[in-house]
Chains A and B, each alone.
Chain A
Amino acid sequence: MMAAVRRRLRWFGFLAAAAWMLLSPAWVQLFGGSSGGVVRAWQMFHLRGAGICSVRFDDRGERIDRYAVLGVDRARAPARFRRIGDEEQARAMGRRLCGARGPGADVRALLRCGERRGLRTILDREENLCAR
């Protein structure tokens, strides 16, 4: 008798726990519900990668190594140099590169910034950053 009860409890416990583990993330991922601190939706690293931009400077199509042009050692460069976080910082870096390359430089930037879902293109080489 007790063995039968224990078996039923075991089955119920397993099925309830397995159903929760396998199905509860759907509440957040498929139906847009809130996790409420209870449901684990396994949406990993969503916020990581936001707040940093990928930037590629070039002068008439030739890629510029900003570390080499500005004489900065990459291993010792401060974070504010290494990490460009928005358009304003990219433009400021572009102006420094214009100054270092001298008159007639045509520095353009391909700037893509990290967001929750990936990278968004902010500057697409359409503008000569030395023009102003």
Chain B
Amino acid sequence: MRPLIAALERALDREASTRPAALLRIGLAAITLVRFAEHLTFRDSTDLFRLAVMAGFWLGAPAMLVGWRSQAASALTAIAVVAGAARLATEQNGWNHHHVYLLVVAIVCVAITPCGRSCSIDRWRALARAERSGAPPPPERGLVWAQYLIAVQLTAVYLWGAIDKCNPGWLHGDKLQAQLLFYIFDSDPPDLPGWGALMAALSIGTVALELALAVGLWFRRARRWLIPAGVAFHITIYVSLPVTVFSALSCLLYLAYVDPDEVHRAIDRLTGP
């Protein structure tokens, strides 16, 4: 128990680089725009509520992307998406789907983190103020505990996704096969020897990988292997099933597991002389 409490203390009271939070903010804003922009236009704003959601979204998401009043913009974006999902979700737009929930949780966590202290207009203005007053540049540091909540949420997605698949229908490969029939092969599965065994192996492999991702992404050594495996897994899902932004979102959220100062140093190394 003591090591866990010590780890929690390190995570919750720690001030660290805000660059990962900024990268998450930019990525989440881009994904949010890709996912919702086409549905939030004057064409679709047929009543006052829709107009309010549209206004909140178009004020929040672009400001979140460029980092203008970053935390407030992130909060406004989250509110607009939650309001839209609560009242305007339909079978067609899929606004109540899992990926929208995950997206909102991540945006809320980013809104709690000082995500404007790096890579943002907020940062630009802070540097200009410091230059004018002759003060040193403000540090790109802050409390990053909410960033770890994103990682907790993604762990829950993998963990409960894997537990849900621990049933005979999935583990025998039948459920995966039914989904591939539905989206790719129609009623004629490929005439391949061992097709059924391949489906079973892929299904069991999926559960094993999800469990590995749920636990292993918390450990630095395992991340080296699990992040590429997870990215490949999500690309495979994307090209096989209609998951919209879920794949890109999950891959982006891997950033939340990485030590913020490590990310900071990596960016320094990439951009340095």
Q: Does A56 contact B (CB under 8 A)?
A: yes
Q: Mark B115-153, 1 if CB is under 8 A from A, else 0.
A: 000000000000000000000000000010110110011
Most buried by B among A10, A21, A41, A83: A21
> For residues 1 through 31 of chain B, which have their beta carbon under 8 Å from a beta carbon of chain A?
8, 12-13
A45 to B149, Cβ gap below 8 A?
A: no
- B195 → A minimal CB distance (Å): 10
With beta carbons under 8 angstroms apart, the residue of B145, B157, B179, B241 that contacts A10 is B145
Q: Does A40 contact B (CB under 8 A)?
A: yes
**Stretch of A11-19, A99-107, A124-132 that contacts chain B:** A11-19
Q: Does B101 contact A (CB under 8 A)?
A: yes
Q: Does B87 contact A (CB under 8 A)?
A: no
- Within 8 Å CB of B201, what residues of A? none
With beta carbons under 8 angstroms apart, the residue of B152, B159, B160, B168 that contacts A118 is B168
- The verdict on A7 contacting B13 (CB below 8 Å), with A49-B178, A49-B179 known, is yes
A118 to B175, Cβ gap below 8 A?
A: yes
| A56 and B181 alpha carbons, distance in the complex (Å) | 13
Q: Does A108 contact B (CB under 8 A)?
A: no
Q: Does A48 contact B (CB under 8 A)?
A: yes
B178 to A21, Cβ gap below 8 A?
A: no
Q: Does A117 contact B (CB under 8 A)?
A: yes
With beta carbons under 8 angstroms apart, the residue of B105, B146, B179, B191 that contacts A63 is B191
- The verdict on A11 contacting B12 (CB below 8 Å), with A48-B241, A52-B187 known, is yes
B164 to A41, Cβ gap below 8 A?
A: yes
| A41 and B188 alpha carbons, distance in the complex (Å) | 32
B187 to A29, Cβ gap below 8 A?
A: no
With beta carbons under 8 angstroms apart, the residue of B98, B148, B169, B170 that contacts A42 is B98
Chain B contact patch, size range: 35 or more
Classify the interface of chain B: helix, strand, loop or mixed: helix
A52 to B178, Cβ gap below 8 A?
A: yes
Q: Mark A1-29, 1 if CB is under 8 A from B, else 0.
A: 00000010011001001100110010001
B187 to A118, Cβ gap below 8 A?
A: no
Q: Does A119 contact B (CB under 8 A)?
A: yes
Binding site for A on B (CB under 8 A): 8, 12-13, 98, 101, 105, 143, 145-146, 148-149, 152-153, 155-157, 159-161, 163-164, 167-170, 172, 174-175, 177-179, 181-183, 186-189, 191, 241
- Subset of 17 A-B contacts with CB under 8 Å: A7-B12, A11-B12, A14-B149, A22-B155, A22-B159, A40-B98, A42-B164, A44-B164, A45-B241, A49-B179, A54-B177, A54-B181, A54-B187, A54-B188, A83-B186, A117-B167, A117-B170
Binding site for B on A (CB under 8 A): 7, 10-11, 14, 17-18, 21-22, 25, 29, 40-45, 48-56, 63, 66-67, 82-84, 112, 114-115, 117-119
